[in-house]
Amino acid sequence: MQNVISGAECPECMAEIYVGDDALVSEIIECTDCRSDLEITSVRPPVLSTAPEVEEDWGE
């Protein structure tokens, strides 16, 4: 339990992701469920956002 702060929600797939206490703001991690690149925008409390690497032709 020492190396886990608490769960954050993946903004892409809503999976619960545990952010370790060595995490840094702006660190890029990969969601274990959907493999999206996520940016840690806050550590305490852990908050994740989608990493800004969208290509121009992306989207619906």
Partner 1 sequence: MDTSPPDLVVLASRVRYEEKRIMAALDRRGSRFTHLDSRSLSVTAATDRYAGRVVLNREVGHYRAWYAAEALEAAGARVVNTAAATHLSGDKWLTSAALLRHGLPTPRTALAMTPEAGLKALAEVGYPAVIKPLVGSWGRLVTRVTDEAMAGAVLEHVAALPSPQSHIVYVQELVPKADRDIRVAVVGGRALGATWRRGEDWRTNVARGAVSEPCHLGPELVRLAVAAAAAVGADIAGVDLIEDGDGRLTVLEVNDRVEFRGFESAHGDIDVAGAIADLLITKAEA
Q: Which residues sit at the interface with partner 1, rule CB under 8 A? A: 12-14, 33-36, 54-60
Closest CA to 38 of 24, 55, 50: 50
Burial of 51 (0-12, 13-18, 19+ CB in 10 A): middle
Contact residues: Zn ion, CB under 5 A: 10, 12-13, 15, 31, 33-34
Select from Zn ion, partner 1, none the partner in contact with residue 54, using the beta carbon and a kind-dependent cut-off of 5 to 8 Å.
partner 1
Q: Of 56 and 59, which CB lies nearer to Zn ion in the complex structure?
A: 59
Q: Of 15 and 43, which CB lies nearer to partner 1 in the complex structure?
A: 15
